[in-house]
Chain A
Amino acid sequence: MYSEKVIDHFNNPRNVGEIPDADGIGQVGNAKCGDIMKISLSVENNIIKDIKFKTFGCGAAVATSSMVTEMVKGKTVEEAMAVSNRAVAEALGGLPGEKLHCSNLAADAVHAALDDYVEKQGTMAKKGIAFDGQT
């Protein structure tokens, strides 16, 4: 039912964990639907330096979380924003049809974390703190 790549990411997930003092944190899904993904990331010079995930969910949820961290690590904020849930599923060699909605939220979690990052930067800018990387 799952591709070899999905199973590989499920068995050997990349970038599991949480970044202390992360620049951005995003969480999507809820326990009601059965999939929760939490992404934390650190950004330097507009580049995603580090990213980690924690996921409660099925094999597809774990695999997409793992895959998306690989896809956006080292990318610019804008490039990461352009990565879609669909692109993540495709990178995994596809997902079973019934997994395409609820379990395929990993890119949304990254976007949420980046939104959080941008918002924090905005707040800091308003307070007169320089943007990350512009000092």
Chain B
Amino acid sequence: MRKVYLDNSATTPVDPQVAEAMMAVLTGVYGNPSSVHEDGRQARMAMEKARWSLAGLIGATPEEIVFTSGGTEANNLALQGAAKARVKKGRHLITTAIEHHAVLDVMECMEKNGYDLTVLPVNEEGIVAVEDVRGAIRPDTTLISVMHANNEVGSIQPIEAIGELARERGILFHVDAVQSLGKLPISVINMNIDMLSVSGHKIYGPKGVGALYLRKGVRVVPMMFGGGQERKVRPGTENMLGIVGFGEACRLAGEGLQEFAALAVLRDRLLDGILARIPDVKVNGPRRGSRLPNNVNVSIRFVEGESLLLSLDMQGIAASSGSACTSGSLDPSHVLLAMGLTHEIAHGSLRFTLGKQTTQEDVDYVLEKLPPIVERLRAMSPLFSETV
């Protein structure tokens, strides 16, 4: 059976060149990068090369990069660490309703611990308004966190304008760029970003490694205490294997930025093909412009997302859904609900995220397999019969 992996926003396969770079470390570089001797120096060099690669990809300097265990840790370190470091200035934090749980849940936890939190709404395309950010700012606001691109619907946020606003008001600006790294150009300078979270496994690197960009002069209280690694912000002997893999993935992502943008052609072929072949389909998120080039998200009315995923999986197609039945909770995706979708429509959401390995044949295979699946499930649905 054909295998078509269209869940690249959940995670990506490791690029063979990344695997090769990691293998070289695994078998040949065993020194502790903090050691003075030759073996240590060799490890440090490999690690610093990775730091350069990531810094280059986002327009930062290597000293501004702190490696972490992933995007989740980078978000936690940025938000908790910066809010704590600035608590004398104020306790008000601003974020949006469509953030990943690795931001939203951190913010909500801080709210329980004595901070004030404003969660901004988004429009029906899943985009926050700069004016809403402006309106939410108070004298005691210390931190604004807005994601660059949303993981579910691919909506791209007006980061540059929000960054300018934050800088004007002297408020720290954090951006979760886990989904945009390697997909969209990022310049922490031009975008006025103070802190930026990224992750390795979304860009063909290994899982369990990520980083936080901390603009020179921005202080955060560490989450952990120990040795002097990563400027004491994130102590512990470094994950050499992950860091080197991540670095190589960053290097390749930089080279492939243009190529990635071209994925929009396949994205539109898939989306237009679905709309042409299946009636009663709603597009979730921005139609074209401010959308990640690899994200398709639709709600297929009268059917439920998990049953779609299960049926697609049997045809070798990997996708995802914002349905409650796939999350283990009783509510569908908070992102889709924040965009104003009803529960029923949100339960029928289906996300395809393309990757650099995706071909036109893959897309056409999905366009061949999806319509009969939908037809079968609709024939089974009590909601469908009520309306026809």
Contact = CB atoms under 8 A, between A and B. Distances in A.
Contact of A32 (B323, B343, B379, B381): B343
Interface in B312-346: 314, 323-326, 328, 330, 332, 342-344
Nearest to B314: A11
Interface in A108-133: none
21 contacts: A2-B310, A7-B310, A10-B307, A10-B310, A27-B382, A31-B344, A31-B347, A32-B344, A34-B325, A34-B332, A35-B304, A35-B325, A55-B382, A56-B304, A56-B380, A56-B383, A58-B305, A59-B307, A98-B328, A102-B324, A103-B325
B381 A18 contact: no
A36 interface: yes
B385 interface: yes
Contacts of A54: 380-382, 385
B382 A34 contact: no
Interface of B: 302-307, 310, 314, 323-326, 328, 330, 332, 342-344, 347, 379-383, 385
B324 A33 contact: yes
B7 to A, nearest CB: 16
Interface in A32-49: 32-38
A35 B306 CA distance: 11
Contacts of A22: none
Contacts of B347: 31, 34
Interface residues of A, number: 29
A34 B304 contact: yes
Nearest to B345: A31
Contacts of A27: 382
Of the listed residues A27, A58, A61, the one surrounded by the most CB atoms of chain B closer than 10 A to its CB is A58
Contacts of B314: 11
A56 B302 contact: yes
Given A31-B343, A34-B347, A58-B326, 15 more contacts: A31-B344, A31-B383, A33-B324, A34-B332, A54-B380, A56-B304, A56-B383, A57-B307, A58-B310, A61-B304, A61-B307, A98-B328, A99-B325, A102-B324, A103-B325
Contacts of A18: 385
A109 to B, nearest CB: 10
A33 to B, nearest CB: 6
B383 A58 contact: no
A55 to B, nearest CB: 6
Interface in A6-24: 7, 10-11, 13, 16, 18
A43 B206 CA distance: 60
Nearest to A10: B310
Contacts of A59: 306-307, 310
A99 to B, nearest CB: 8
Contacts of B323: 34, 58
A11 B302 CA distance: 18
A62 interface: yes
Nearest to A57: B304
Contacts of B324: 33-34, 102
A58 B379 contact: no
Contacts of B380: 13, 16, 54-56, 62
B332 A36 contact: no
A55 B382 CA distance: 6
Contact of B304 (A7, A38, A58): A58
A72 B91 CA distance: 60
B102 to A, nearest CB: 21
Contacts of A98: 328
Contact of A62 (B307, B344, B383): B307
Contacts of B332: 34
Contact of B343 (A13, A34, A37, A58): A34
